[in-house]
Amino acid sequence: MKKAIFPGSFDPITLGHYDIIKRSVKLFDEVIVAIGINADKKYMFSLEQRQKFIEDSFKDEPKIKVVTYKGLTVDFCAKNNVDFILRGLRNPADFEFEKAIAHTNRDLAPIETVFLLTAASTSYISSSIVRDVIRNNGDYTVLVPDSVRVK
């Protein structure tokens, strides 16, 4: 069974994340969307909200599992028998950043990182842009899956 983890903070999940996850289901038997817990980070949405946004977005997709985790991604992979880390790339800066992490992960564990390019229609979207739009009362709904609604 080919299992992949798609780690991130997903604060919140965007249409770019959604696209990568949807496309990855064709490549892997199971895709674990893993929300990392970082006590030093300030989040707009609670861990429970972020998890619910993702679960609701993929409620009809049995190959997708949503979990939370602390610590190194490679340690999570070892404990859960995961051989692949999935990452989305929007631009050359993402590639340089992700390449360094992928090399480090491979030094730490026998893990492969698989990169998927984001769709052209979502390549400009980031969670930080979505948060800024929300903070300024803009229409963020065109940037996120329907499950992400701020009340």
Residues in the chain: 151
41 is catalytic: yes
Written as one string, the DSSP assignment of the chain is --EEEEEE--TT--HHHHHHHHHHTTT-SEEEEEEE--TTS--SS-HHHHHHHHHHHTTT-TTEEEEEE-S-HHHHHHHTT--EEEEEE-SHHHHHHHHHHHHHHHHHSS-EEEEEEPPGGGTT--HHHHHHHHHTT--GGGTS-TT----
Distance CA 95, CA 102 (A): 10
59 is catalytic: no
In the set 26, 41, 42, 151, the catalytic residue is 41
128 is catalytic: no
In the set 24, 57, 87, 127, the catalytic residue is 127
106 is catalytic: no
In the set 52, 90, 99, 106, the catalytic residue is 90
In the set 17, 24, 50, 87, the catalytic residue is 17
Q: Which residues are known catalytic residues?
A: 17, 41, 90, 127
